[in-house]
Structure formats: C-alpha cells, structure tokens
Structure 1
Amino acid sequence: MTWRNVMIKDGDYLRLKLDNLEIEKGGQKFSIPLSDIATITLEGNILTLTTKLLAKLAQHNIAVIVCDNKYVPCGIFMGFGQYHRTAKRNLEQVAWSEKLRNEVWTEIIRQKLSNQRAVLIAHDADVERIDKLQELIEHIQLADATNREGHAAKVYFNSLYGMKFTREQDCLENGAMNYGYTIIRAYMARLVTSLGLIPTLGVFHRNEFNSFNLVDDLMEPFRPLMDWYILEKILPNYPKYLTWEARCKLIDFLNQPYFYRGKKTTIDLVMLDYVNSFIKVMKNENLSELTEITLGGIARCMRN
C-alpha cells in the first residue's frame, strides 16, 4: 500500500535503483521503495532525473507534482493505461446517463456545502451566515441549476476572511488554499487514472481545455476539509508566508487521520474509497452508495 508523499527541494539527482527512488543531494544518497510512494513533489531549478525513473514512476501510478520558481505547483506527471480493464471502464463511463450525472453532481455539491457550513460552525462564524448556508443547501436543485455553490462560496469565504476578501487576492490565505487544492487534485488525478477512468470526461465540469474535468468534480467535498486544515494548522503557525515547513505540512494533509465507518484511517484512503464508491454509483445507479465525506471525520481525529 502506498502511503508516502515525498517532497524534494533542490536535490541534485534522482534515479531508479532496484525499484527504489534514489535521491542524491549534497554528496549523500537516500533511497525510498517505489511501492511506498503515492506522490512526489519537486521544487528547485537544478534537479535532474532520468527517463528510466519517469517510466517506472508511471508504472507505479506515482503522481509527480512540479513547482515553479515561486514554489507553486504548476504541473502533474502521471502514468496512463495501467488499470487492467481500462477499455471496459472507459466504455462504462461514456455510457453514463445524463440523469445519473446530474444526480451525482447534486450530491457532490450538497456534501461540499455541508462541509463549508461545518467549517463556519467550527470557527464561530455569525449565526446568520451559518443559517444562510443552510438555506442554500436546502434549496439546491438538480445539478445545482441555480448555482447555489457560487452563492455559498461568497458567503463562506467572506465569513472566514472578511467582506473584502476574494479568491483572486495575492495573500497567504489564497496561497495556502491554492497549494493545498493542488495537492488534493494531484492525488485525486492519480486515483482516477489508476482506476481506469477518463479524467477529461467529467460529471459536471466539461471544459474542453481541462484535462482533469472528472478530477475537479470528485475533489469538491474535500476542499472544505483542506480549508479547515489550513485554518487549524497552517495560518496560526506560519502567519507570514508559506515556508518550506508549511508546504510540507500541506502535503502531509493526505496522511491526516480520518474517522470513517467506525475506524480510524487516513485522508488518502478515504479518497480512494470515495472514487470507488463513485464508480459503484455510476454502475449500479444507486446514489446511496456514494461515500459521505464530512468535516467531522477529520476534525474528530485531529482534536482527540
């Protein structure tokens, strides 16, 4: 089972050695079994790696996240076609009905907004704003035809960060969220491709220029969990800018404990179960099979 999310800063050289990732830095060498690795995040402008290693990473379904010179993730490398019945699953995915897609998207948005409301409650937002979010949840229509998600986003972020806050601002809060969402997106992309799904064919997102429409659909309920994690673990401890330690902490979100179905697990495994449950729903047309993602699942574990 993969469980490591590796971050490499200004390493000199990466190579494959006997099914291990070998990292050479400052004259020292470190080895990590590929079978342990889920994602690798690369920072720095002088790092070199071999095509032989890249091929092996793709075969192990390891997502490689590349950061720009401002340490912001800007690209993802991953394998394709590794699932043993990719063609069969692709045909199933293409055959999903529009009605079922709309029902699934409605449930995804309901979960996202419910988690946003839970974040507001956890951080003592105004009762009126919490009630407003509840009202928006109760009035979600099929496929969110009236865009309750968009209305909720304004209420949500203004409640957390002030009435003048927008997601376009250049600030620590947005920097942390953008970085954190990219980590979730990369891992979700890894799961989607490793389970034989077509990442471009979304449930709701259908942008012709987006290679990860389905990924962007499925990650929605996890965004508020990352928001809560940033409010709890990042902003209080790294109040000025996203340091190396803060970025490592954001990547470590995937390893955070989660209380799920009566037992303690981790976020990355919950994400895997979520994608598998989504596949079951789309095959069996039983919406109740979709895993319920809640803020309480992570908050309960991390506060105990």
Structure 2
Amino acid sequence: MTWRNVMIKDGEYLRLKLDNLEVEKGGKKFSIPLTDIATITLEGDMMTLTTKLLAKFAQHNIAVIVCDNKYHPCGIFLGFGQYHRTAKRNLEQIAWDEGKKSAVWTEIVRQKIQNQIAVLEARDLEQERIQKIQTLCDAMTLGDKTNREGHAAKLYFNTLYGLGFTREESRFENFAMDYGYTIIRAYMARLVTSLGLIPTLGVFHRNEFNSFNLVDDLMEPFRPLMDWYIGEEILPKYKDYLSWEARCMLIDFLNQPYVHQGKKTTVDLLMLDYVNSFIKIMNKKASHLTEITLGGLRGV
C-alpha cells in the first residue's frame, strides 16, 4: 500500500537502486522503497534524475509534482495505461448520458457547499451569512444550472476572510490555498489515471485546454477540508511566507486521519474510496458518491 508523500528539496541526484528511490544530497544517500510512495514533490533548480527512474515512477503509479522557482507546483508527471482494463473503462465513461452527469455534478456541488458551511460553523462565524449559503444550496437545481456553487463560493470566502476578499489577491491565504489545492489535484489525478478513467472527460468541467477536467470535478468537495486544515495548521503558525515547513504540512494533508462510517482511515485512502464510488455509479453498482464531510476530518 502506498502511503508516503515525499518532498525533496535541492536533491543533487535521484537514482533507481534495487526498486528503491535513492536520493543523494550533500554527500549523503537516502533510500525509499518505490512501493511505499504515492507522490513525490520536487523543489530546486539543480536536480538530476534518469529516464529509467521516471519509467519506474510511472509503473508504480507515483505522481511526480514539479515546483517552479517560487516553490509553487507547476507540473505533474503521471504514468498511463497501467490499469488492466483501461479500454473497457474508457468506453463505459464515454457512454454516460447527460442526465447521469448532471446528477453526479449536483451531488458533488452539494457536498462542497455543505462542507463550506461546516467550515464556517466550525469557525463560529456569522450565522446569517451561513444561512444564506444554506438557502443557496437548498435552491440548487439539477446540474446546478443557476450556478449556486459560484454564488455560495463568494459568500463563503467573504465570510471566512472578510468582505472584499477575492481569490485573485496576492494574500498569504491565497498562496496557501493555491498550494494545498494543487496537492489535492495531483493526488486526484494519480487516482483517476491509475483506475483507467479519462481525465480530460469531465462531468461538468469541459475546457478544451484542460487535461484534467474530471480531476477538477472530483476534487471539489475536498477543497473546504483543505481550507479548514489551512486555518488550523498553517495560518496560526505562518503569516507572510509559505516556508518549507508550511509546504511540508500542506502535503501532509493527504496523511491526515479521517473517520468514515465509524472506521479510521486517512484522507488519501478516502479519496481512493471516493473515486471508486464514482466508478460504481458509472457501472450502475451504486447510486451515490462516498460522502465527504468536514466532521470526518475533525473526527466528530
């Protein structure tokens, strides 16, 4: 079972050694079994690795996240064709009709908005504004054709971070969210591709320039969970600069404990269960997605 989310900063050489990742840095060597690794995040301008190692990453379904010189994730390397029935799953995904897509998207948006409400309630913020968001959620139509999600998001962020706040501002909160969301997106992309789904074929997102439309659909309910985690673990400790320690903590979100149906799991395993529930709906073996709740992350 893969469980490690590895972060490498300024590693000099990355090699394959007996089915292990060997990292050489400052004259020292560190070894990690490939079978333990789910994601690797690479930071630094001077790093050498081989195509043989990249091929092994792909074969082990390890997502490699590359950061730019500002330490922001800017690229993802993923394997493809590792699922044993990829063509069959692709045909099943293509065969979905618009009605099913609309129903699934409605459920995704509803989960996301309910989690946004839970974040605001956990922060004990203004009840009147929380009720307005709940009213928007209750009024949502099939496929969210009236864009209740967008209206709810504006109210949510203005309640969480103050009136006038926008996601386009150069603020520390936005830096943390951008980094955190990219980590969720990368891991979701790993799951989608490793389970034989077509990442470009979304149920709502249909941007012709986006290689991860389905990924962007499925990650939505997890965004508010990251918002809460940032509020608990990042904002109280770090103010202006997303330090190495802060970035490591954001990556560690995937390893956070989560209580699902009375059983203890972790966020990364929950995401796997969530994607599998999507596949079950696609195959008519289930009618609902796995429920994602802030309460599960908080253990309540």
Indicate the TM-score class for this superposition, using the shorter chain for normalisation.
Answer: over 0.9
Counterparts of 2:287 and 2:147, CA distance in 1: 21
Q: Which amino acid aligns with 1:297?
A: G
Counterparts of 1:209 and 1:156, CA distance in 2: 28
CA contact (8 A) 1:119 1:224 kept: yes
Q: Does 1:150 align with 2:156?
A: no
CA separation of 1:285/1:207 partners in 2, compared to 1, >3 Å: closer, same or farther?
A: farther
- 2:214 corresponds to: 214
- 1:193 corresponds to: 193
- 1:291 corresponds to: 290
Q: Which amino acid aligns with 1:114?
A: Q
Counterparts of 1:122 and 1:48, CA distance in 2: 45
Counterparts of 2:158 and 2:195, CA distance in 1: 37
Q: Spell out the pairing of 1:66-85 with structure 2 (5 A cutoff).
A: 66-85=66-85
Structure-2-length-normalised TM-score: 0.99
SS at the partner of 2:240? coil
1:241 is displaced (CA, Å) by 1.3
1:144-165 deviations in whole A, cap 9, x for unaligned? 0000000001100000111121
1:240 is displaced (CA, Å) by 2.2
Q: Does 1:88 align with 2:53?
A: no
1:117-175 deviations in whole A, cap 9, x for unaligned? 00000111101111011101101111100000000011000001111210000111000
Counterparts of 2:199 and 2:55, CA distance in 1: 20
Counterparts of 1:282 and 1:141, CA distance in 2: 21
- 1:52 corresponds to: 52
Q: Spell out the pairing of 1:1-304 with structure 2 (5 A cutoff).
A: 1-284=1-284, 286-288=286-288, 290-300=289-299
1:286 is displaced (CA, Å) by 4.1
SS at the partner of 1:270? helix
1:176 is displaced (CA, Å) by 0.2
Q: Which amino acid aligns with 1:104?
A: V
Q: C-alpha root-mean-square deviation of aligned residues, in Å?
A: 0.8
1:261 is displaced (CA, Å) by 1.4
Unpaired segments ≥5 residues, structure 1: none
Counterparts of 2:112 and 2:290, CA distance in 1: 13
1:287 is displaced (CA, Å) by 2.5
Unpaired segments ≥5 residues, structure 2: none
CA contact (8 A) 2:277 2:286 kept: no
SS at the partner of 2:283? helix
1:285 is displaced (CA, Å) by 6.8
Q: Which amino acid aligns with 2:215?
A: V
Counterparts of 2:232 and 2:133, CA distance in 1: 21
Q: Which amino acid aligns with 1:99?
A: G
1:200-237 deviations in whole A, cap 9, x for unaligned? 00010000000000000000000000000000100001
CA contact (8 A) 1:23 1:31 kept: yes
Identity %: 77
CA contact (8 A) 2:3 2:38 kept: yes
Counterparts of 1:285 and 1:262, CA distance in 2: 23
Q: Which amino acid aligns with 2:230?
A: I
SS at the partner of 2:299? helix
CA contact (8 A) 1:110 1:137 kept: yes
1:259 is displaced (CA, Å) by 0.3
CA contact (8 A) 1:104 1:287 kept: no
Q: Would you identify which runs of 4 or more consecutive aligned residues in structure 1 move more than 4 Å?
A: none
Q: Which amino acid aligns with 2:231?
A: L
Q: Which amino acid aligns with 2:290?
A: T
CA contact (8 A) 2:43 2:67 kept: yes
The count of aligned residue pairs is 300
Structure-1-length-normalised TM-score: 0.98
CA contact (8 A) 1:281 1:287 kept: yes
Q: Which amino acid aligns with 2:293?
A: T
Counterparts of 1:173 and 1:274, CA distance in 2: 27
Counterparts of 2:244 and 2:102, CA distance in 1: 41
Counterparts of 2:296 and 2:256, CA distance in 1: 10
